[in-house]
Structure 1
Amino acid sequence: MNRRETLIAIIMIFILAYIHQVSVESNVIVIPSEGTSDLIREDNVSVLDWWEVSPVHYFLTMIGLYLPFLIPITGIIVILSCFSFGIRTIHPKNVLENKRRQDIFQTIMDNPGISHNEIENVTGINRSSLKYHLRILMREGKISSRKFFKTRHYFGNGSRYNTEDQIFRLVLNCSTTENIYRYINRHPGCTQKDLIEYTKLSYSTVLWHIEKLSSGNLVSINKEKNSNHYYTKKTILQNSD
């Protein structure tokens, strides 16, 4: 039960109570305060009809008298409103009945490793709404995500490829990155100088691809004798053969 539902339920209680109060045409007796010296005089006591008393008076009185009963009554009203207005609980069996979540899920299944911005461009769903639906899909176990190389990527659960395999294929979707990875695989312990001589690329470009491989957990970096030496991960190698 969120704040909005609670507020609506409380307002409904007050409105119903006020309608009941005015419907019985009850009177309100008004007497002076205790500090008044002539309290016992009958002409100081007056009787007002219900319409002469402001709704604020009724509401404040009801808060003082019925506050202990408001919480359970509010819960009952919210439960009844869920049945009346068709509010449904989201669970794994009906999570994809929503058209937007269905489109998001299908987009992820068709494009394993797709990023948030790419999903937004493909589906046309705005950022805040997309973030909400992605959170629900992950909560219900339909998708998973992993952040590497400063970007979060999404994968569909239940695919024939596990997350590690999908990341492996995603990282190596660039021919240059794959070429560097295969060189490291064939020459374990090679240095950045070796990679620059092999690829004929600049220092910064080689470093960018190394960071990408490292972020995807495909390559480990060991510092030996003031130089970084690169090795492919054995667990990943088994998936790449």
Structure 2
Amino acid sequence: MTDSDPDADPALELRSRRRIYQHVRDNPGIHFRALLEALEYAQGTLQYHLRWLETHGLLEKSDDGKYTRYYPAEEFDETDQAVMNALRREYARRIVAHLAVDGALSTADLSDRLERAPSTVSWHLSKLEDADLVTKERQGRSVEYELRDPERVQYLYTIHRRTFTDRVVDRLFDLWDSY
């Protein structure tokens, strides 16, 4: 593959592979079902081409615990993939946005902001903690969560903002930009 133009790679001579590869490049972290809906290929055909692109070093996959997500090879390190995996899930994205904008928050604070049960918020926080995206610290009787690298989160969100259709999070990050 040439460094300057991956699309010139002979591995992408098939229109279907080029189309799949380009869609993943345009929507890094997209999961299989979303690709299936967007591209309207038969499931087996899409699986075959994704596996082929991965075997030939053009795509990488990441398992976020619920979905297998796809990334252009060598463009996202493991930490960036973990951030993008979280940003691709609605409530994880909203939790991350609140932590990025407001700093450390408790489960109760996040539950109030998201208007979700504390158990739901806690589940998402544990997944974010497992992905090493948040840290938790005991503050008296409560536990507060904080993003490990808020600048990285904001950078990735800003770069790929158009692929996240979430006006709530857009408003939060716009507030952060105005500080």
Are 1:124 and 2:37 matched, yes or no?
no
Unaligned 5+ runs, structure 1: 1-91
Counterpart contact for 1:155–1:163, Cα < 8 Å: no
Over the matched positions of the two proteins, sequence identity in percent amounts to: 25
Task: Identify which of 127, 133, 137 aligns with 1:218.
Answer: 133
The one-character-per-residue Cα deviations of 1:71-114 (angstroms, maximum 9, x if unpaired) are xxxxxxxxxxxxxxxxxxxxx94211122212211221222211
User: How many pairs were matched up?
Assistant: 146
Give the superposed CA RMSD.
3.5
Counterpart contact for 1:120–1:130, Cα < 8 Å: yes
AA matched with 2:40: G
- Give the SS at the match of 1:141: coil
Are 1:203 and 2:104 matched, yes or no?
no
User: In 2, distance between residues paired with 1:120 and 1:176?
Assistant: 23
- Give the SS at the match of 1:144: strand
AA matched with 2:38: V
- Using CA pairs under 8 Å that are at least 6 residues apart, name the structure with larger relative contact order, 1 or 2: 2
The one-character-per-residue Cα deviations of 1:120-176 (angstroms, maximum 9, x if unpaired) are 2222222222222112211222111111141111112365x6664465356336776
Counterpart contact for 1:148–1:215, Cα < 8 Å: no
> In structure 1, what is the equivalent of residue 13 of structure 2?
97
Q: Flag the 1:114–1:200 CA change in 2: closer, same or farther, 3 A.
A: closer
TM-score (norm: length of structure 1): 0.48
AA matched with 2:110: L
Counterpart contact for 2:64–2:82, Cα < 8 Å: no
For the pair shown, which has the larger CA radius of gyration, 1 or 2?
1
